Structure 1
Amino acid sequence: MTITYQGNQIKVILTDIEGTTTDISFVHNVLFPYSAKHLSSWVRNNLELSITQDILQQVREITGKSNLDMEGCISQLMSWQAEDKKITPLKTLQGLIWQQGYDKGELKAHVYPDAVEYLKNWYDTGLTLAVYSSGSIAAQKLLFRNTSDGDLTSFFSAYFDTTSGSKVESQSYVAIAQELSVLPQEILFLSDSLKELVAASEANLNVCGLNREAAGVDDNFTYVKNFSQIPMKF
């Protein structure tokens, strides 16, 4: 089966999460407050874990403060959290905290019903599905494993986060295409972020903007309200 988007054959759909598959209010009004509330206690209660020590060391390296103690690291992480910084040690820590919340039943992930339907349909047609989000890979898997519609992780073949590079830099998308062993023009990237669409487009990926408020076409990109409006041809 040949699947095309605006005349280009598509083998991979690469999707963002926040604002695309998942309501942005869930991330900002549920996940972020939860991690902020539990950040300091999680670090203090898990100091014996090597991953905790790795996180603290990464904070020291990023800040250039090699002698920063635990409390100083926690303070820096809290500051990054408040500023919504896309920094790897923070994203790793948030994922660990959210795992605790999902395991306790205190969190249940939101995914739009149209996203669930079309991800399943695309998976069934043989398309490769992948995720690229600023949240850690662990956090991505947690979200899709703990949705109100059940475990969706079987749909996805690959996950990418900030360790692959910034989402607003074109080279990140080139690297992802290489990792997936496809040409950039064989990927369709879905996102609600204009900067991300621009970066992906500069890397020769096909792009489609998700705007839950209004669909349309600007000078550069097509925007749709939901997954059902993405103009793919089978």
Structure 2
Amino acid sequence: MVVLSVPPEVTVILLDIEGTTTPIAFVKDTLFSYIRENVKDYLHAHWGEEECQEDVSLLRKQAEEDSHLDGAVLIPPRSDGADDTEQMIQAVVDNVCWQMALDRKTPALKQLQGHIWRAAFAAGTVKAEFFEDVVPAIRKWRQAGMKVYVYSSGSVEAQKLLFGYSTEGDILELFDGHFDTKIGHKIESESYRRIATSIGCSPNNILFLTDVTREANAAEEADVHVAVVVRPGNAGLTDDEKSYFNLITSFNELFLPSST
């Protein structure tokens, strides 16, 4: 087994989710498929609720900003007519599917997705899955005095659902905090500086674990330590990436000097 020694100045471990703690297949095949298959039923069931209308308003505003893009789906203004409501719901469904097909990560889309997943997790329809090494390793890190945070493109609410309703039970207590793209995009170095400031540490006190090399590059530019996680189903790495980055295939490969 490869062993990667964690630098002694590191006091915080920052985790990506998809492809790092959680199989990409679970996210794409289970979570995202659930949205596509259930968004219309969800909208029908919750249409009269203020939260749902706020979600639709955000999507409508985003659609207006996207109107110049090929295939963009506009959402008509709200009306009290039954036919108009059905037309609007279909427009929301089409807009959501269009954004998801392009793998967009707009706050409006993430917010609605989070609310749909919340209903699914609370009903027990979906439970989050993690790689088997993840939870034991996080417990070990915390026992060694490390702080553990999550940084994902998924909303903080969606993150808390994953860790609150999982095959391992509710493990939210294992995390000191959560960050999403409201603090900045994951391929921008400034985002990692903001995270360090928010935590109250220096960037070089953080070790970021991710499967995406563009995120790893951005974190390194901010003076954050990085290890690229190689998991089944993740995108392949180039030979240059393999030789440049510290690679791990399991959280068990991280060695914490403070734990000895």
- How far apart are 1:98 and its partner, in Å? 1.3
Structure 1: distance between partners of 2:243 and 2:75: 51
**Could you report, residue by residue, the CA deviation over 1:7-41 in whole angstroms, capped at 9, with x for unpaired residues?**
44111110001110111111111111111111122
Q: 1:105 to 1:67 in 2, by over 3 A?
A: closer
Matches within 5 A, 1:40-119: 40-64=40-64, 68-69=76-77, 70-71=88-89, 72-119=91-138
SS of structure 2 residue aligned to 1:188: strand
* Corresponding residue for residue 155 of structure 1: 174
Correspondence for 2:248 among 209, 224, 231: 224
Structure 2: distance between partners of 1:68 and 1:32: 25
In terms of mean alpha carbon deviation, does 175-184 or 224-233 score higher? 224-233
* Corresponding residue for residue 35 of structure 1: 35
- How far apart are 1:163 and its partner, in Å? 1.2
**Could you report, residue by residue, the CA deviation over 1:183-202 in whole angstroms, capped at 9, with x for unpaired residues?**
00000100011111011111
TM-score, normalised with respect to structure 2: 0.82
Counterpart check, 1:169 vs 2:188? yes
* Corresponding residue for residue 200 of structure 1: 219
- How far apart are 1:90 and its partner, in Å? 1.1
* Corresponding residue for residue 165 of structure 2: 146
SS of structure 2 residue aligned to 1:78: helix
In terms of mean alpha carbon deviation, does 67-76 or 192-201 score higher? 67-76
- How far apart are 1:78 and its partner, in Å? 2.0
Structure 2: distance between partners of 1:230 and 1:32: 31
* Corresponding residue for residue 16 of structure 1: 16
- How far apart are 1:49 and its partner, in Å? 2.7
- How far apart are 1:151 and its partner, in Å? 1.1
The size of the alignment, in residue pairs, is: 231
Structure 1: segments with no counterpart, 5+ residues: none
* Corresponding residue for residue 154 of structure 2: 135
Cα-Cα RMSD: 2.3
Larger RCO (CA under 8 A, 6+ residues apart): 2
TM-score, normalised with respect to structure 1: 0.90
In terms of mean alpha carbon deviation, does 54-63 or 164-173 score higher? 54-63
Counterpart check, 1:26 vs 2:34? no
- How far apart are 1:133 and its partner, in Å? 0.7
User: Is the CA contact 1:9–1:186 (under 8 Å) kept in the aligned structure 2?
Assistant: yes
